[in-house]
Structure formats: structure tokens, C-alpha cells
Amino acid sequence: MVRELSADKFEQLEAIKSEPGARTITIDPATHHIYLSAAKTEPPAAVGGRPKVVPGTFHVIDIGK
């Protein structure tokens, strides 16, 4: 988690652990909660390929204090 101090300066506030492959969807400016999308995956079929999403495992992670 970072805070913008100026247009080109940022400060790290804390490291937040989530799940492998999770992606930020949005941040709620009122509550400061961070929402991430994630799903369980299977290894890629070919070297250098993308992992395959396991059907029915999509979920949203809500990170906040």
C-alpha cells in the first residue's frame, strides 16, 4: 500500500499479502478498502503459457481496516 506525496514521489505504507494472481479492481475512497479479484488456477498447459482458471473459484477479496 502506498501514499502519493507528490506527482512523482510515493511512500510505502505497508506490504499487503493477497493471493497469487489477484488483481486490484478498485479502491473505495470513503472506507479505504481495496477490492481484488482472484480465482484458483491450474498450471499452464505449455511452457510460458497462461494458467487456466478453475471454474467456480472466482471471488472478490476485501482488504480494509
Determine, yes or no, domain membership for 6: no
In a domain, 30, yes or no: yes
Q: Give pLDDT tens digits for 51-65.
A: 999 999 999 999 987
Residue 5 domain-assigned (yes or no): no
- On whether residue 8 sits in a domain, the answer given is no
Q: Give a yes or no: residue 31 inside a domain.
A: yes
11 in a domain, yes or no? no
* Total-model pTM: 0.70
Sorting pLDDT into bands at 50, 70 and 90, what band is 12?
A: very high
27 domain residue, yes or no: yes
Domains identified in the chain, total number: 1
Does 3 fall in a domain? no
Domain extent for 53: 16-63
Secondary structure (DSSP) of 21-63: T-EEEEE-TTT--EEEEE--EEPPSSTTPPPEEPTT--EEEEE
Q: Any idea which residue has 482458471 for its cell?
A: 53
